Structure formats: structure tokens, C-alpha cells
Amino acid sequence: MSAVGERAVVPGGKPEGDGRSEPIRVLIADDHALFRRGLEMVLEEEADIELVGQASNGAEAVALAGEALPDVVLMDIRMPKTSGIEACRAMKEVAPSAKIVMLTISDEEEDLFEAIRAGASGYLLKDIPLDEVAEAVRAVHGGQSLINPSMAGKLITEFATLAKRDSDEERAQRVPPPKLTEREMEVLKLVARGMNNRDIAKELFISENTVKNHVRNILEKLQIHSRMEAVMIAVRQKLIELR
């Protein structure tokens, strides 16, 4: 599953080689020191991942993100001073290229939806085995959107609810969404079905790099940060329908 149902943890092995010589820079934000330490010990074992900072609250996380400019941020939702949701929004200003993954014990629907609206690229529960966190980091850095399978159904339900909630009057008042090309629409529909870039490439008989370019163009046109947001907006704007 990708945008609305990607496997929470990518199967063993690193994602398709992208020729990186620089390690993936990761920032951890969690108010539980023992959990941070556990993540630190696991990530330090990975040659292609570099831990660039740790924060114990949302405000500190935003400050560190602005200084360290991480590639990926693993962040809890429930933190003192500034919540993970608020920190996520703020990080998009100080470190816009950072991919943010909420790593939390909260399986509340509201937290999931707010995280996506704030620009998070993933939402994983803390019951994920620590030794699989590195694969999640690589996956989200490679452009995938991750969500626990147990939360995927809730997200799809919310998409459907959003689509039904819009009245004819509201749609009439809304500014028309940016026009996507026919190919971009095809890609978006497959993203909504939970397909990753590799599977989309096979389905459309195009290269994986071409799929990545289409996804990037879709995000730029919709002025958003993640595939999950793209699906949410596409459903709300009646660009696609979820059945």
C-alpha cells in the first residue's frame, strides 16, 4: 500500500538504489528518553543512516530541524510545549524538504487525519518492531507514504466522508483545482489504490523514474507535501472517487 494503504514496514532490503553517497539524515523527537535511546541504538547500526539530533518536545524539534535540516523526522504526537502536529506544520517552514513520520501510540482517527493535513508523510504506531524502523526511514525518504495497515481503513472512510460532506453550494464557491494531465490522473488513481511507484510503473508500462516525476508534478500542482494529502484533496475535489 502507498498513500492510503502502504505496508507499514517495507520488506527487507534497501529500496531501489538511488546512488546515494550521503547518509539519510534523521531527527528523532519524542519525550520518552528510553524510546529515543532505542531508536538511536537501532539507527546507529545502519551505515546509510545518520542521526543528526534528538528532541524531547515539539518546540525543540522545530528548532533542531531548522539547524540540522534532516531528511527524515521520526516524531511523536503527544509531546510537551508543542505537539507533534503543531511541530509538523512549523517544520514545513524551517525544513520544507524533510519527510515527517509520526511514530506514536495514538490510534485515534483525529490524530491520523490532523497529521496528514499537517503534511506528515507517514503515520506508524509504536508497536512497529524497532529493527524495522530503518526500512521505514528508507521508504519514506524514497518518496513512499507509510501508514499502519490498522489505520488504513479509517483513512479511506474519512476520504469518503469528505467527499460526501461537500455540498453543491460549497463546490460552486470553491476555486477550481489545478488541471492534471490525463497521465497524472491515471497515476493519482493508482496511488489512491495503494500502489507504490514500482507497481504503478508496471501497470502503466512506463519507467519508475517517470512515475516519480508524475507524482512530483501532482504534488506541486496541488501544492502539498505527501501522497496521502494528494488522495485526500483529489477525493474532496471530486477528481477521483474511492469505491
Domains in the chain, CATH or no CATH each = 24-149 (3.40.50.2300), 156-236 (1.10.10.10)
How confident is the model over 166-178, as pLDDT tens digits? 544 454 445 556 6
CB 162 within 8 Å of CB 236 = yes
Which of 3-17, 114-128, 219-233 tops mean pLDDT? Answer: 114-128
pLDDT surpassing 50 at residue 136: yes
pTM: 0.64
pLDDT surpassing 90 at residue 46: yes
Q: What is the mean pLDDT of residues 43-66?
A: 95
How confident is the model over 95-135, as pLDDT tens digits? 999 999 998 888 887 788 888 888 888 888 888 888 889 99
Cα separation, 141 vs 86, in Å, equals: 21
Nearest Cα to 18, choosing from 228, 226, 208? 208
Main-chain phi, psi angles of 36, to 5 degrees:
-60, -45
Lowest average pLDDT, out of 13-22, 95-104, 153-162, 206-215, goes to 13-22
Lowest average pLDDT, out of 2-11, 82-91, 163-172, goes to 2-11
